[in-house]
Structure 1
């Protein structure tokens, strides 16, 4: 592990948490599934106006320090807008 810790699942299998690194705003269409799913409250929705003047939403990281690296947000994202990274030392 890059941070010197040995993480394990409940069953004792090795596990590396991968923390949310970025959300691709070109892929995200603001459905909010990830925001509802995140039990750590790391995510939120941001409103913006597109080129045609229509109000749109996109997911944003509002509290990265709370992320536990479960990757649930990326698993539920139908547009595959999330990228993840292991924590470095």
Structure 2
């Protein structure tokens, strides 16, 4: 596990974006706009009823810094996070 510290010296474990649940996400794009690392993007698809929908997707997982900002802004709690194993 990575040993990270806050500015004040407190221990902090970054949790990296693992998945985004397509069934929960309604494609508002808040998480995409908030991510300064450009890890996320919007993807369009046609649902079972033939309606075009947009959902957030992980486009560059390697850029994630583990801040969890995307999850904190998501009203549907569509993001899951995981600590990086050593």
Interval containing the TM-score (normalised by the shorter chain): over 0.9
Q: Give the TM-score normalised by the residue count of structure 1.
A: 0.90
Matched, 1:53 2:71: no
RMSD: 0.5
Structure 2, unpaired ranges of 5+: none
1:20 counterpart SS class: strand
The answer on 1:64 being equivalent to 2:61 is yes
CA distance in 1, matches of 2:19, 2:48: 23
Q: Partners in 2 of 1:21 and 1:52 — Cα distance? A: 28
Q: By how many angstroms is 1:53 displaced?
A: 1.4
Give deviations 1:26-85, integer Å, cap 9, x for gaps: 100000000000000000000001122111000000000000000000000000001100
Q: How many Å separate the matches in 2 of 1:61 and 1:44?
A: 6
Using the alignment, how far apart are the partners of 1:22 and 1:82 within structure 2? Answer: 6
Q: How many residues align?
A: 82
Which runs of at least 4 in structure 1 moved beyond 4 Å after TM superposition? none
Report the 3-state secondary structure (helix = DSSP H, G, I; strand = E; otherwise coil) of the residue aligned with 1:22.
strand
Structure 1 unaligned regions, length at least 5: 1-7
